[in-house]
Amino acid sequence: MADDAKKDGCGCGEGKVPNKEGRCVMPEVTFPAFVMSLNTSALYHLGEIADPQTGKRVAEPDLARHAIDTLVLIQNKTKGNLTSDEEELLKNILYDIKLRFVKVVRK
């Protein structure tokens, strides 16, 4: 375990980063990070990302659809309140993930 902490460069261990005081904390929650986490969830449920424990890829379209629907809801509810970069990120992710979804459900 100590070796893992040394490998990540900051000494904090998996999933954590040092704050200004050097304490290991969870990364800051930002809108782009939140959107990317939902995108990762959708990709995982589309079978695009392997399960880290088993190494297997399993498509679960209903769960992927839920993540996509959540991103669409966020897009609708935040309209007019995002920076142009945030808006573009969300639009591009939704475009990409919807195309991937269609490919999976058509198989």
> Given pLDDT bands bounded at 50, 70 and 90, which one contains residue 106?
very high
pTM above 0.85, yes or no: no
Nearest residue to 38 (alpha-carbon basis) of 6, 84, 46: 46
Identify the pLDDT of residue 9.
Answer: 59
In this prediction, residues 42-54 reach a mean pLDDT of 95
Phi, psi angle pair for 10, to nearest 5°: -105, -10
